[in-house]
Amino acid sequence: MDDSDKKELKTELEKLQSEKEDLINDIRDLDWAKIIKLEKENEELQKKVEWLDKDKKKLDRKENLFRQVSNSRHRMWLNSFKIIIVIGIVDLLVIPLLVTFFKIPLQWIFLGIGIVTFFGLLLLVNYMSGTSSYDSGELRKAITGSFIVTYLIFVPLISFGTVTIPLIDPISAVASFTWIVAIVVIFYFVSRAIEEYVKIKHGK
C-alpha cells in the first residue's frame, strides 16, 4: 500500500469519525429534546394533578359544608320545636296552675300568657335568624305572635264564660281585642313592607 492509499484511508477514517461524532451529537440532541419534552409533559401532568387535587378538596369542602348545614338545620328545627313546646307548656299549664294556686283573678292569666309568649317568640325568632343581636323585625314578629296567641286563647275562654272580666261585657271584650289584634297585624305587614322598600331603594 503506497502513501496515497494511506492518505485516502486516513481521510476516510477521519470522515467516518467525524460522521460518528455528528451522529453522537445528533443522538444527544435528540435525547435532550426528548428529555426536555418529557419534563415539560411531566410538569403539565403534575399541574393537572394539583388542579384535580384542588378541585377534589373544594368538592370535599362543599360536601362537608353541605352536611354541616343540613345537620345544623336539622338541629335548629329540633331546638325550635323544643322552644315551642316549652312556651306551650308554660302558657297552657304552668300559668293556669300558678294563677289557681295563688288565687289570682283569672283575667290576669292573659297578661302572663302574653308576656311569656312574647319573650319566648323573641328568643325563638332570634335563634332561627342565627344572629346575636335583636333587630326591629324580630321584635315585630314577637309582638305580633304574642298578640295572636293570646287572642286565640282569650276568645274561647271569654266567649264560653270560663273567664269573666268584671264590668266588661264578653262580646265587647272580644270585639275590642279583635280590633287591637287587627291593628297589630296590619302594623306588622305595613312596617315590614316599608322596611323592604327602604332596603331596595338604598340598594339601588
Quick: pLDDT tens for 111-136. Answer: 999 999 999 999 998 888 777 677 77
More confident residue, 71 or 56: 56
More confident residue, 167 or 33: 167
Residue 18: the pLDDT is 73
Decide: pTM greater than 0.75: no
Q: pLDDT-based confidence at 59, cuts 50/70/90?
A: confident
Residue 23: the pLDDT is 73
Asked whether the beta carbons of 153 and 117 are under 8 A apart, the reply is: no
Q: pLDDT-based confidence at 78, cuts 50/70/90?
A: confident
Radius of gyration of the chain (CA): 43
Residue 147: the pLDDT is 95
Q: What percent of the chain has a predicted confidence (pLDDT) above 70?
A: 80
Q: pLDDT-based confidence at 98, cuts 50/70/90?
A: very high
More confident residue, 99 or 21: 99
- Using the predicted structure, report yes or no on whether residue 76 has a pLDDT greater than 60: yes
Alpha helices in the chain (DSSP H): 3-89, 95-101, 108-129, 136-159, 170-203
Q: Return mean pLDDT, the chain.
A: 81
Q: Which three cell numbers stand for residue 65?
A: 359544608
More confident residue, 71 or 124: 124
In terms of Cα–Cα distance, which of 203, 108, 106, 196 is closest to 160?
Answer: 106
- Count of beta carbons in the 10 Å neighbourhood of residue 110: 19
